[in-house]
Amino acid sequence: MAFRQPALDALPRYPLIIGDTREEKGSGATLAHVYPGTGTVTREITMANADDVDRAVAAARAAAPAWRAMPGDKRRDLFFKLAALFEAKSAEFGPSLIAENGSLAAFANYMGYDAAQKFRYFGGWADKIHGRTIPMWQGEVHDFVNYEPYGVVGVIVPWNGPLFAATMVMAPALAAGNCIVLKAPELAPYSPMKLVELIQEAGFPAGVVNLVTGGPDAGEALVAHPGVDKIEFIGSGATAKKILTSAAQSLKPVGLELGGKSAVIVFDDADLQDAAKRGLSGAVSANGQGCVNGTRLLVQRGVYDAYLQTLSAMAGHIKVGDPMDQATTLGPVISEPAISRILGMVERGITQGGRLVSGGERLGGDHADGFYLPVTILADVAHESEIAQNEVFGPVLAVTPFDTEDEAIALANGTPYGLGAYVHTTNLHRAHYVTRELQAGQIQVNGSGEAMQPNVPFGGWKQSGHGRLGGIEGLHEFMQPKNVYMNVAKLGGGQ
């Protein structure tokens, strides 16, 4: 059975969208984009260089005063129009999402609705941003705080979910009154192109949102640019360290949403069927390439064998295949190097004491041309081993037994990361105690992804980053407080 290729004529063609122009070629290097589902090239993309980034920043700076001054109700109405376009044209994102990184068709159909929800939520805040007055002790004085946009925000998003990540950042940043320069990832450029095209179609003023598609050099130019007032980066910790080093030269603020090694804690009173199904989602969601996926399963010893048996049986029913097939539940990883890296970590996990329960080899046959792995489960994984401590970014689960609540908490907290955590129990007291002690930015009890809504804060502890996206916290992430003190006794009426 030959796997299908997304239709090329359905993919956007503009790697640069600057001001009111759409450009089919940047000034930088040319990259052959590869579709992970078949290993074939979709299109040769000529990407942005530093000069293109400079033009995009100039367009954003030119648009910033008017966008900042636009009344909140006008900005709100643009957001609601954009949300309606997302819903009406959701199907048009499918080819881009599938082609760029092998996202599943079923997942792609949801992404337009997800983007609409984000712009509706933050559009609702656009006409409700207000300051506050502060009572002062000195007598005839008036003190107040205004919350104002930074100006131009440089946004760098990852290849594993560029549309999801871009809308998560851009909706609050734009609602707060900032202009945007978005760098699309070279490995997954199509959905960001489509996103910015739709923003233009909704009637956002020229220059409010600009797109450059490029590699590390374009990202470096954006971070270092003196016309960029804040950077928001979603990606790896290694890249984040380089960004922080560059931004430190101008003391530019940087928001970071980075990797994770999120623990799934399964207690002996949990619903094992539900906990296994949700545990399996850590290997399946985003084809195992999600930063907040629960990929480290900590299971209480009394149910350890039963849980493993249930998990393995469920993994055997996962359909790995063509992302364009609605029945597919697990698609490819991003690239050939990713296959080698993931399998290398699995092999080392076995040599360090892990027991292979399922998977562990690249899929051949009909899958041979793409980048496909089955769900891979390693049991009896030592807490100190590489595969328990480091992000795999593939459909791999590491399972470790524990005995007590406190041991589970210590294991869950015992990595450099703190993005997410998942707790499975039917005991309310235990749920409150364990979630209080866990070191993670977002914790779900008997859940596996439902909390990822635009009205709740999302972000990490420790090396999973800092700052928050989502909710009122996400809006404040893109505003600066300005305090104004007035000695009223010294002021006249004036004009």
CA distance 135 to 160: 48
Nearest to residue 199, comparing CAs of 166, 158, 154, 155?
166
Q: How far apart are CA 236 and CA 261, in angstroms?
A: 12
Tokens at 379, concatenated: 């049991």
Q: Among the residues of 257-335, which ranges form H helices?
A: 272-284, 304-315
What CA–CA distances, in Å, run from 49 to 19, 54, 252, 371, 478? 17, 9, 21, 29, 26
Using alpha carbons, select from 366, 46, 405, 453 the residue that is nearest to residue 218.
46
Task: Record the tokens describing residue 78, joined without a space.
Answer: 């643009």
CB neighbourhood size of 46 (10 A): 18
For residue 231, give the nearest of 178, 177, 291, 302 by alpha carbon: 178
The Cα–Cα gap between 304 and 408 comes to 13
- Report the candidate in 60, 64, 50, 367 with the shortest Cα–Cα distance to residue 222: 50
What tokens were used for 12?
Answer: 């956007």
CB-neighbour burial class of residue 492 (10 A; exposed 0-12, middle 13-18, buried 19+): exposed
What are the helix (H) ranges across 248-389?
Answer: 272-284, 304-315, 336-351, 386-389
3-state helix, strand, coil in the chain (%, to 5): 40, 25, 35
CA distances from 193 to 77, 100, 107, 163 (A): 23, 11, 19, 9
- Are the C-beta atoms of 280 and 315 separated by less than 8 Å? yes
401, burial (CB in 10 Å: exposed 0-12, middle 13-18, buried 19+): buried
Closest CA to 485 of 137, 145, 149: 145
Is 148 an active-site residue?
A: no
Instruction: Quote the CA–CA distance of 203 and 79 in Å, as a whole number.
Output: 10
- 109's CB contacts (< 8 A; 6+ apart) are 90, 91, 94
Of these residues, 197, 291, 391, 477, which one is catalytic? 291
Given the residues 257, 336, 347, 473, the one annotated as active site? 257
Q: How far apart are the first and last CA of the chain?
A: 78
Whether 179 is catalytic is no
Q: Which residues are catalytic?
A: 257, 291
